[in-house]
């Protein structure tokens, strides 16, 4: 008897190591699979645990894309159902990266949105956290209402300048370079071999070295408040900047 036949416990299998029936691929435990390593039925892709998938690595059913855990998706990496886009965790989305349902836009966490980046419902605009809006709404800046929309902020020179602002980060300081003061403040270094140090002052140094015209652009933001700016950004705006 042929080796391939010995490996098959099902009937009418063309491939090897199949426990189901009528499989054209290998290592399938379901039925009528044309791909490999499927545990479902009627799959034409590979590594599917659901049924009727034409893509790969699906755990849901009736998917034509890849890596879907939901059902009837034509995109990829969807955990919801009936999505035509990619990376959706909601249902019935035709856009991408939606965590809500029935969105035709992208990056929506609400439902029934036609625009993008909405956290509310039934919006035909973008960046709305309300409902039934067709126009971009104004945003708060420095805790007060402004005449800017979020699109105005995204397109502003101030935002592009601040994107170059360094991050306040932590760095690992090994015990052999720690000062006596640091060892006293962080006795845990005897066990850990060092400590994580907050790197402060980098943002202030960046601001102090910024050209005056760029500082003026940032400080011309609607409702600019130097105290709030310092609290959030860690930058002290001095008189004469």
DSSP per-residue letters across the chain: --HHHHH--SSS-SSSS--SSS-SSSS-SSSS-SSSS--SSS-SSSS--SSS-SSSS-SSSS-SSSS--SSS-SSSS--SSS-SSSS--SSS-SSSS--SSS-SSSS-SSSS-SSSS-SSSS-SSSS-SSSS--SPPEEEETTEEEEEEHHHHHT-HHHHHHTTSPP--EEEEEGGG--HHHHHH-TTHHHHSEEEEE--SHHHHHHHTS-HHHHHHHHTSTT--HHHHHHHH-----TT-
The number of C-alpha atoms within 13 Å of 66 and in the hemisphere containing its C-beta is 4
This model's pTM is above 0.75: no
Per-residue pLDDT of the chain (241 residues; tens, 9 = 90+): 444 443 444 467 777 777 877 787 777 887 778 877 788 777 887 778 877 788 777 887 778 878 888 777 888 888 887 888 888 888 888 888 888 888 888 888 888 888 898 888 989 999 988 899 999 999 999 999 999 999 999 999 999 999 998 876 667 888 899 899 988 888 888 878 888 776 655 788 899 999 999 999 999 999 999 999 998 888 999 866 6
């Amino acid at each position: 008897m042929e080796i391939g036949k010995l490996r098959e416990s099902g009937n009418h299998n063309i491939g090897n190591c199949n426990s189901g029936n009528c499989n054209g691929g290998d290592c399938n435990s379901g039925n009528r699979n044309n791909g490999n390593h499927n545990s479902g039925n009627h799959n034409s892709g590979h590594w599917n645990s659901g049924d009727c998938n034409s893509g790969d690595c699906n755990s849901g059913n009736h998917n034509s894309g890849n890596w879907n855990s939901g059902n009837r998706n034509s995109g990829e990496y969807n955990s919801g159902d009936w999505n035509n886009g990619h990376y959706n965790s909601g249902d019935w989305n035709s856009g991408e990266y939606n965590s809500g349902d029935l969105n035709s836009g992208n990056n929506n966490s609400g439902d029934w949105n036609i625009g993008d980046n909405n956290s509310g419902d039934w919006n035909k605009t973008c960046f709305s956290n309300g409902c039934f809006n067709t126009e971009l709404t104004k945003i708060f800046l420095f805790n007060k209402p402004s005449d800017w929309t979020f699109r105005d902020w995204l397109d502003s020179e101030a935002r592009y300048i601040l994107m170059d602002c360094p991050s306040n980060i932590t760095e690992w300081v090994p015990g052999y370079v720690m000062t006596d003061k640091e060892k006293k403040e962080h006795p845990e270094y005897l066990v850990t071999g060092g400590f994580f140090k907050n790197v402060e002052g980098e943002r202030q140094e960046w601001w102090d070295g910024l050209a005056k015209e760029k500082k003026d652009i940032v400080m011309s933001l609607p409702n600019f408040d130097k105290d709030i700016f310092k609290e959030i950004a860690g930058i002290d705006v001095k008189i004469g900047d």
